[in-house]
Amino acid sequence: MTGGHRRILVVEDDPETAGQLVEQLSTSGYQVDLATCGNDALSRGAASEYAVITIDRMLPDIDGIAVMRQLRDDGIAAPFLIISALGEVDDRVRGLRAGGDDYLVKPFSFIELLARLEALGRRSDTVAKETILRVGDLAIDLISRTASRRGKDIDLLPKEFQLLEYLVRNEGRVVSRAMLLQHVWDLHFDPSTNIIDVYVGRVRRKVDDQQAYPLIHTIRGIGYSLRAPG
C-alpha cells in the first residue's frame, strides 16, 4: 500500500475544475490522484491511503456523501473535504463537521482549499501535549487561557483568546476568514460584512502594538497568518 501525508484523492466530475485542482495541488507539493465519478472514487479510495479526500457533492452517478459513507464503512479513515455547490443550508453537508470532516462551498478560492487541506491533513498527526504554546516572543497558556509577549500579559476576551489560539495552532499557515468563523464562532456561513477583519484588527492591536515585530499578518484576499520573523 502506498501512502503518505502529501497524497490526496480529488473526486470531481467537471474536467476543467478537476484539471485546475490537480495542477495547483501538484504545484503546492501534493501527490494527486483524480477520480471523475463516484464508482471510480470508491475503487481508488479503497486501494490507496490518502491524507485527505476531496469530493464533489453532486457526482453524475452517486451522491458524494453516499460515497463518503461507503468508504467510511469500508474502514477508510482519511478525512473528507466535501465540495458542495448547494451551500451551507444543506443540512447533510453541514452535519459533516461533527464527524471531523470539512466542507467548502463552490466556487472556492484555491488558497482557501489549500488552507483547509492543510488543516485536515495535519489533524491526524498532531497531538496537543504542551499546555503552553509559543511563537516568537508570544506565549499562550492553554490552561489559564492567558497570553503574553515578552512576559507582559495581553488582556484578551474569551473569543479573542480562542482566535489567537487558533492562529497559533496554525502557525505559519494561512487561515481564511471562513475558517476563523467556523472554529472560533462555530458559524458555517460567511457574514458578508468585513466583521472578521474588524475583529482581527482589534486582536492585532492588542497583540502587536508596541512590539518588536508584528505576528499577525494579513494575507490579501483570503485571511490571516501568524508567524514570527526569521
Partner 1 sequence: MLLAKTLTSSTFKLALIAIGTFGVIVSAIFAYVYLSTSTFVRSRSDRAIMAEYMNLRDVYERSGREGLIGLIRQRTSDRAFTGHVYVLSDPSSAVLAANLGEWPPTAMAPSGWTEFRVSPVAPEGGGSPLVRGMIVTFPSGDRLLVGQDISDLDLFTGQIKTAVISGVSLIFVLAGVASVLVTRRTVGRIEQINATSRAIMASGLDKRIPLRGTHDEWDRVAENLNLMLERIETLMGEVKQVSDNLAHDLRTPLTRMRGRLEKAYHSQRFDEGAQALIGDTIADLDAVLRIFTSITRIAQIETRVRTEAFRTVNLVEIAREVVELYDAAAEEKGSCLTMIGEGEVPATGDRDLIFDAIANLVDNAIKHGRAGGDVIVASETVNGAPVISITDDGPGIPTNQRDQVFKRFYRLEQSRYTPGNGLGLSLVAAVARLHGARIEMSDNSPGLQFKLWFPAPGT
Q: Which residues bind partner 1 (CB under 8 A)?
A: 14, 16-17, 20-21, 23-24, 58, 85-91, 94, 105-111, 157-159, 185-193, 195, 198-199, 201-202, 220-221
Whole-angstrom distance, CA of residue 216 vs CA of residue 136: 12
Nearer to partner 1, 62 or 86 (CB): 86
CB of 20 to partner 1, least distance (A): 4
CB of 30 to partner 1, least distance (A): 16
Nearer to partner 1, 10 or 76 (CB): 10
CB of 178 to partner 1, least distance (A): 12
Nearer to partner 1, 49 or 190 (CB): 190
Nearer to partner 1, 107 or 229 (CB): 107
Contacts of 11 (CB under 8 A, 6+ apart): 34, 35, 36, 38, 40, 41, 53, 54, 55, 56, 59, 64, 67
Note whether 47 and 30 are within 8 A (CB). no
Whole-angstrom distance, CA of residue 118 vs CA of residue 164: 18
